[in-house]
């Protein structure tokens, strides 16, 4: 197993390099880079953007024509454009910038945001509470609902309960979460009807002054509507997967043999079937958690004013804040690869018969 783990870890290196290289090449051809963003700010807001860079934009403006090759740079001194390129590192060739980025990322040095005057790590840490809250509770809720529901559907296959719960699951899965979120706001968050729940942030403004029980209640008070909106379709896949896994195990010969030996039905189901049926569900938990943790709905975060990693990624792409874009891509890709390895190892822990090390690659 140690050889398999080492091989998988070594394969992460070219995989990460490939992901970053493809993304870097695509970004080079994307219009509207950070230099253009500052130029647009200068043209629309006077010298405010230049002041953030340590220079006076108004003093450096000149009717010299567009000699920089940047859209909208007419009337700006080429020396000022050159300073912008140096500020953002675009005075170096692309291959050198990519090499320096990879070297820094290998040492977990993710640099500083172009526009936020904060390190990328600080920005990510600031957004983590929202992403942790959404990812953790959505994953737990989906498993707590899906596994018992899937087992009962399997035990009562074809019954009226199985039919109507399947209909509910399909309808819930088909409803877009953001539309349901708007409906919840209209009904319960000060829309046209009730005003029971807050509409901004994870906690109230006076959270620090509350007692611990009141803090916990306030935290879940703020999370109730976002979690309902996100969990609407979160449990559908796991429920059906649990049901089908149980049905597949129940129909196997060892179950028939156990029943023929006179074992109680409960012991057959939960002493033999459950462990085998839950193999794929439990082993997929690390991946499901990480997926929910880092892939929170951007629209849900926006609707409920939750400033998480999803919103950070979107805003960094919109602003062409490349240090944040590439750092989050690198971190998410690395965590995804590690989580995949953990999921495979979980399979072998649950069922020792699975041996990835002997599998030919």
pLDDT at 111: 86
Query: Does residue 115 or residue 48 have the better pLDDT?
Result: 115
Share of the chain above pLDDT 90, in %: 9
pLDDT average, residue stretch 147-173: 89
The angle at the Cα of 272, spanning 268 to 275, to the nearest 5 degrees, equals 135
Residue pair 34/322 in contact by the 8 Å Cβ criterion? yes
pLDDT digits (tens, 9 = 90+) for 174-206: 888 888 888 888 888 876 788 888 887 788 888
Select, from the ranges 81-90, 101-110, 315-324, 344-353, the one with the highest average predicted confidence (pLDDT). 101-110
pLDDT at 105: 92
Per-residue HEC secondary structure of the chain comes to CHHHHHHHHHHHHHHHHHHHHHHHHHHHCCCCCHHHHHHHHHHHHCCHHHHHCCCCHHHHECCCCCCCCCCCCCCECHHHHHHHHHHHCCCCCHHHHHHHHHHHHHCCCCCECCCCCCEHHHHHHHHHHHHHHHHHHHHHHHHHHHHHHHHHHHHCCCCHHHHHHHHHHHHHHHCCHHHHHHHHHHHHECCCCCECCCCCCCCCCCHHHCCHHHHHHHHHHHHHHHHHHHHCCCCHHHHHHHHHHHHHHHCCHHHHHHHHCCCCHHHHHHHHHHHHHCHHHHHCHHHHHHHHHHCCCHHHHHHCCCCCHHHHHHHHHHHCCHHHHHHHHHHHHHHHHHHHHHHHHHHHHHCCCCCHHHCCC
The angle at the Cα of 65, spanning 37 to 57, to the nearest 5 degrees, equals 45
What residues pair up with 61 in beta bridges, in sequence order? Answer: 76
State both tokens at 198. 């807050």
pLDDT at 14: 93
State both tokens at 286. 């690390």
Tell me how far apart the alpha carbons of residues 224 and 230 are, in angstroms, rounded to a whole number: 10
**Mean pLDDT of the chain, nearest integer:** 79
Burial class (CB in 10 A: 0-12, 13-18, 19+), 353: exposed
Tell me how far apart the alpha carbons of residues 154 and 310 are, in angstroms, rounded to a whole number: 36
pLDDT digits (tens, 9 = 90+) for 301-321: 888 888 888 788 888 888 888
Residue pair 136/289 in contact by the 8 Å Cβ criterion? yes
Tell me how far apart the alpha carbons of residues 181 and 170 are, in angstroms, rounded to a whole number: 18
pLDDT average, residue stretch 273-284: 76
Residue 115 has pLDDT above 70, yes or no: yes
pLDDT at 64: 38
Select, from the ranges 153-167, 175-189, 259-273, the one with the highest average predicted confidence (pLDDT). 153-167
Q: Please tell me the class of the 121-358 domain.
A: mainly alpha
CA-based R_g, the chain, Å = 27
Using 50, 70 and 90 to split pLDDT, how confident is the model at 132?
confident
Longest CA–CA span in the chain (Å) reads 95
Query: Does residue 181 or residue 61 have the better pLDDT?
Result: 181
Domain boundaries, the chain: 121-358
Residue 224 has pLDDT above 80, yes or no: yes
Residue 261 has pLDDT above 70, yes or no: yes
Tell me how far apart the alpha carbons of residues 109 and 90 are, in angstroms, rounded to a whole number: 19
Residue 226 CA, distance from chain mean position: 15
């Amino acid at each position: 197993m140690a050889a398999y783990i080492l091989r998988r870890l070594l394969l992460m290196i070219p995989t990460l390099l490939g992901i970053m290289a493809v993304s870097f090449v695509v970004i080079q051809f994307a219009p509207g880079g950070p230099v253009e963003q500052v130029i647009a700010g200068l043209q629309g807001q006077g010298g405010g953007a230049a002041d953030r860079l340590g220079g006076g934009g108004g003093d450096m403006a000149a009717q010299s024509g567009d000699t920089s090759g940047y859209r909208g740079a007419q009337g700006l001194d080429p020396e000022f454009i050159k300073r912008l390129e140096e500020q953002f590192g675009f005075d170096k060739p692309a291959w050198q910038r990519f090499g320096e980025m990879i070297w820094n990322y290998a040492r977990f040095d993710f640099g500083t945001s172009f526009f936020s005057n904060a390190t990328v790590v600080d920005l990510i840490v600031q957004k983590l509470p929202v992403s942790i809250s959404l990812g953790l509770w959505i994953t737990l809720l989906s498993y707590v609902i899906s596994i018992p529901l899937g087992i009962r559907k399997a035990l009562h296959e074809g019954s009226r309960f199985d039919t109507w719960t399947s209909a509910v699951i399909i309808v819930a899965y088909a409803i877009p979460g953001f539309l349901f979120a708007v409906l919840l706001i209209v009904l319960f968050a000060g829309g046209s009807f009730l005003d029971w729940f807050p509409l901004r942030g994870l906690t109230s403004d006076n959270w620090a002054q509350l007692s611990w029980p009141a803090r916990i209640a306030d935290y879940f008070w703020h999370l109730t509507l976002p979690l309902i909106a996100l969990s609407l379709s979160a449990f559908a896949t796991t429920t059906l997967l649990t049901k089908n896994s149980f049905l597949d195990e129940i129909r196997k010969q060892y179950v028939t043999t156990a029943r023929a030996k006179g074992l109680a039905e409960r012991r057959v189901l939960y002493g033999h079937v459950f462990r085998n049926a839950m193999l794929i569900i439990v082993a997929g938990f690390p991946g499901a958690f990480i997926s929910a943790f880092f892939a929170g709905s951007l629209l849900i975060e926006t609707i409920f004013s939750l400033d998480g990693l999803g919103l950070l990624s979107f805003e960094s792409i919109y602003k062409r804040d490349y240090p944040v874009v590439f750092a989050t891509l690198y971190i998410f890709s690395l965590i995804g690869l590690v989580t995949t390895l953990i999921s495979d190892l979980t399979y072998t822990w649950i069922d020792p018969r699975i041996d990835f090390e002997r599998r030919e690659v």
